[in-house]
Amino acid sequence: MNRNKTLLLTALCVALALAGGVLGTLAWLSDRDSVTNTFTVGSVNITLDETKVNTNGDPLNADNKPVEEDEEPARTGTGNTYKLLPGKVYLKDPTVTVEPGSVESHLRMVMTVHNAPAVQAILDEPAHGLTDYADLLVGWKPEVWRYNGFVYDEEAGTISFEFRYHETVTGGAEALPLEPLFTGLQVPGTVTGAELKALQGGEGPEDDFRIVVTAHAVQAAALDGEDAAWSAFNQQLGWAEGDLQPPADPEP
């Protein structure tokens, strides 16, 4: 699958659901002979949210009303719903906050696109001239959130993209919001209404097009680099090596 064209799936979204992922510190314990070792460990604590907006992508306050001049928009941890229009840019800024006291950790965000085949059909249409996902991701800084590959699940119809934060982060005395993964998404003006409608052509809600963004954190200490850390993350959660989301529930 073409890497650039595949990653465009992250942009043409109807809804973005946010889920904060928190993993407690991995306890790398050991014993020697009959001696029992007791360890005191820290914690890993992050949250994930984005600016609260209406279906047009305009920011809202805590009362779900348009923000006034100099008023701070509200934040939401459950995501937003959008009404897509060709040629429009939508405010969207998934942001991880490192909570006070969190130990040094590796961080990543994973964007999982549902009903990916419907988006792929749009990407494969030559008339749109879509050649690079960066054309649709507004404000994404690859030097801050480094793209690290994707996993495609043909059976589930999903594709997940991994973005790793460029350095380890340690919680201080106050909450530390990081730079957002991106600040907006834009729909190409050449996309037709019929193509957008096809994104929600499933038989049930689980078949509709949506994007779920999750944030993961894992301690950096006692682990030999970020690859080893994320391998340990998956191992502790019982995921297969290289998975970016929980495995699907087995059939009853």
Is 247 among the domain residues?
Answer: no
CB 103 within 8 A of CB 43: yes
Under the banding of pLDDT at 50, 70 and 90, the label for residue 9 is: very low
| 17-64 pLDDT tens trace | 565 444 433 333 233 444 544 444 468 889 999 999 999 999 999 999
Would you say residue 147 lies in a domain? yes
Domain count, the chain: 1
Cβ neighbors of 51 (< 8 A, separation 6 or more) are 59, 73, 74, 75, 76, 91, 92, 93
Full domain range(s) for residue 200: 3-22+43-237
**pTM of the model as a whole:** 0.83
Q: Residue 20 and residue 96: Cα distance in Å, rounded?
A: 8
Q: Which residues pair with 110 in a beta bridge?
A: 162, 214
Q: Is residue 66 part of a domain?
A: yes
Distance from C-alpha of 251 to C-alpha of 10, rounded to nearest angstrom: 28
Q: Classify residue 27: in a domain, yes or no.
A: no
Whether 191 maps to a domain, the answer reads yes
- Cα 168 to Cα 217: distance, rounded to the nearest angstrom: 10
Considering the domain boundaries, does residue 35 fall inside one?
no
Read off the pLDDT of residues 106-148 as tens digits, 9 standing for 90 and up: 999 998 878 888 888 887 889 888 777 667 789 999 999 999 9
Residue 250 domain flag: no
What is the per-residue burial (b if ≥16 Cβ within 10 Å, else e) of 225-238? ebeebbbbbbeeee
Given this model, what pLDDT does residue 42 score? 63
